[in-house]
Structures are given as structure tokens and as C-alpha cells.
Amino acid sequence: MSGAHEFSLLFIELGLVIVGLAVLARIANRWGFSAIPLYLIAGLAFGNGGIRPLNLSESFIHTGAEIGVLLLLFMLGLEYSAGELKRNLRQALPAGALDFLANFTPGLLVGLALGWKLLPAVFLGGVTWVSSSGIIARVLGELKRMNNPETGMVLSILVLEDLEMAVYLPLVGVLLLGGGPARMFSSVALALCVVAVVLFAAVRYGGIFSRMALHHSDEIVLLTIFGLVLLVAGIAERFQVSAAIAAFIVGIALSGPLAEQSHRVISPLRDLFAATFFFFFGLEINPGSITPVAGLALGLGLISAVTKIGTGYFAGKRIGLQPRESLRAGAVLIAHGEFSIVIAGLATRIEPEIAPLSAAYVLFLAVLGPLVARFVK
């Protein structure tokens, strides 16, 4: 009976969480702003150290949150063809270089100023560098900006960041383990090869697969596409490549009627799991650990907001966008999230202070980003 009792409590708590998220989504919809900040604050309130900690299955919620990120990026990929991706990536290369210099440097310098060694400071630079593909994907969808002139360039910068993560994460992972130059080179080379193979397969055989997978049954298409996204993402993660970028590439590979059908049948799953991701992200943060570093996180977050807006504005002006469109691009890039937390998690073994600082920093920008994007029209 004890096992049945535990399951009943788990189902009740999960049910209450999901109903609560639905209420928050209604409030956000009613007032015309993104529900993401509300999901994050709810997680903060009911996590460890919050007003009422929930005894949810951490592995269950974490898995759902990870699936949410994959589906967000997969749905983004559906919006673009391989040709559009290649064209936009070429245009975004200078902006990608500026993005790295302008947003990695503040974190690096703050880490050194705090008296940290070089490697933890490099990790903090990674935290401040990478925008949140998951949050930005949700914001673009909520604000109905998928077809805006600046959106292709924004996505190109996000893809460049994710591709650069394929170099950054294996590199810092080897440094953590004390590996030499040969091991660094082999890890990075393997990650890049996996990205190249997946991208080539998507461009070369995506049309053939789309025709083969097309079916009149929504159930069959749902199972096929959902399984494919998980499979490719899992293989990519095995080779230390971002699962999110793999899911994005799967979306790019689908075309024609299958892309339209996939969009329709996957959307409800995306919304459910994405809400879970943002709630779980807040759930992992202990409010008590934020207070001592709140001022520093706020200052660093404001610097990042300015540099991200500058990055988007520069990139937009370079390709001929109007000033308002360029500002919108920069505003939507402010949000930080999943990659920043992953990077901070890797660094905690060598610098414990990076965890609360990164949590406070990411929470601030995850709330500020959607709000600024909403008001810069």
C-alpha cells in the first residue's frame, strides 16, 4: 500500500503543478505578456528552500524538461529550410564573432576580478556568452514573430552559438579532467564531425525522408517524428554535441506536407514539456543562495543585456534591417538559460561560488529577456 500511496501523492502533486502552470498561462495571456517568468518564479517558490518544497520525482521532471528544450528547437527548425540556414549562417558570421567577444569577455573579467583562477573565469565567460535557445524559441512563438525580418538572423546567431558549444564544451571538459592537447583536439574534432554528418544527412536526404515518413494518420506521424527527434538528439549527446542543435537540424530536414503535419501534432507536446522545463529550472534554484550574490548577478546581467542588444543591433544593421527591427533582434537575445546552467554545473567542482552566481544571473535574464522583447515592438 505504501507504494500506491506514494504514487497517488506524486500524481496529485504533478496534477497540481500542471493545473497551476495552466492558471499562470491564463494570467499571462490575459495581460498580454510571456508566461515564462511566471513559470520560473513558480519553480523558485516550490523548489528546495522555497515557501513549499514539493517532493516530485526529480528524474521524471528533469527528463520532461529536457524533452521540452528539444521540442522547442525542433519546432524552430521546421520554420527554415536548409538553404535558408546556409544563407543566414554566412550572413551571421561577423555578428557571431561580435557576440562571442562582447558577451564572453564580461564574464571572464568578472571571474578574474573575483580572484578566481583562469579556468573558472573561462566557465563564467561561457555562462554570460550563450543565449537561451529554448526561451527565445518560446518568446518568438508567443509574440508571433516567426516571420519577422529579424528572426532569421536571430536564429542564425543562436545556431552559431550552439555550433560553437560543440567546440567549447568538449574543450573545457577535457581541461577539467586535466587532458593534454592531443585529447582536446580529438574531443573537439569528434564533436565537429558529428555535427557535420547530421547536417549533411539533413540537407542531402531530408526531402527523401519527408516523403517516406508522410502518412495520413497523425498518430503514426507523431510517433515517427517524436521518436526521431529523441534518437538523433541522444546520439548527438553521446558524442558531446548539443542535443538541442541536433533537434534543430531534424526540424530543418523535414519539408513540405510532413513539416506542416509535424507542426500541428507536435505543438501540444512542445507546450506541455516546455512549461515543465521552465518550472523545473526555477525548481532547481535555492532562493537562499541567491541573496549574497544578487547585486553582482544584477550588475552582470545588465551588462549582458546591453551587449546582447548591441550584438543584435549590429547584426541587423549589417544586413540592412531597420533600426526598430535590429533593436527587436537584440532584445530577444537577452534571455539566458539552459546552456548557462549546464556550463555552471560543470564548473562547480573547481569553483563552488559559480553556481549561485550563475543561477541568480540566469534567473534575472530569463525574466528580463521576455519582458524587454515584449516591450520593444
Q: How confident is the model at residue 112 (pLDDT cuts 50, 70, 90)?
A: very high
Of residues 219 and 342, more confidence is placed in 219
pLDDT band for 3, please (50, 70, 90 cuts): low
Read out DSSP for 185-217?
HHHHHHHHHHHHHHHHHHHHHHHHHHHHH--S-
pLDDT tens track for 230-259: 998 888 888 767 677 788 788 878 877 888
Residue 328 banded pLDDT, cuts 50, 70, 90: very high
- Give the tens place of pLDDT for each residue, 161-182: 877 776 777 677 667 766 667 7
Buried/exposed 118-129: b ≥16 CB within 10 Å, e otherwise: eebbbbbbbbbb
Count of CB atoms situated within 10 Å of the CB of 30: 8
For the domain covering 2-375, report its CATH number.
Answer: 1.20.1530.20
Contact indicator for 164, 103 with CB cutoff of 8 Å: no
CB-based contacts of 114, cutoff 8 Å, min separation 6: 353
Domain locations in the chain as residue ranges: 2-375
Q: What is the DSSP string of 75-127?
A: HHHHT--HHHHHHHHHHHHHHHHHHHHHHHHHHHHHHHHTT--HHHHHHHHHH
Considering the chain, what percentage of its residues have pLDDT values greater than 90? 23
Environment class of 11 (CB within 10 Å of its CB; exposed 0-12, middle 13-18, buried 19+): exposed
268 contacts: CB under 8 Å, gap ≥ 6 = none
Q: Enter the C-alpha cell of residue 256.
A: 513540405
**Cα separation values, 92 from 72, 88, 98, 172, 313, Å:** 22, 6, 10, 25, 12
- The answer on pLDDT for 154 being more than 50 is yes
Output Rg (C-alpha) for the chain, integer angstroms. Answer: 20
CA angle 46, 47, 49 (to 5 degrees): 105
User: What percentage of the chain carries pLDDT values higher than 70?
Assistant: 86
Q: What is the residue whose three cell numbers read 565537429?
A: 192
Q: 269-303: per-residue pLDDT in tens?
A: 888 888 887 788 777 777 887 888 999 999 999 99
Is 0.75 surpassed by the pTM of this model?
no
DSSP-based three-state secondary structure for 364: helix
Burial per residue of 203-235, b for 16 or more beta-carbon CB atoms within 10 angstroms, e otherwise: beebbebbeebbeeeeeebbebbbebbbebbee
Say how far residue 140 (Cα) sits from the centre of its chain: 13
Average pLDDT on 133-155 reads 84
What Å distances lie between residue 366 and 10, 337, 338, CA to CA?
Answer: 28, 6, 10
**Residue spans of alpha helices (H) in the chain:** 2-31, 36-46, 58-78, 82-113, 118-129, 133-142, 151-177, 181-213, 218-238, 243-253, 256-283, 287-290, 294-318, 323-332, 338-347, 354-375
Give pLDDT, residue 1. Answer: 45
| pLDDT-derived band at 6, boundaries 50, 70, 90 | low
3 state DSSP class of 63: helix
pLDDT of 58 over the 70 cut: no
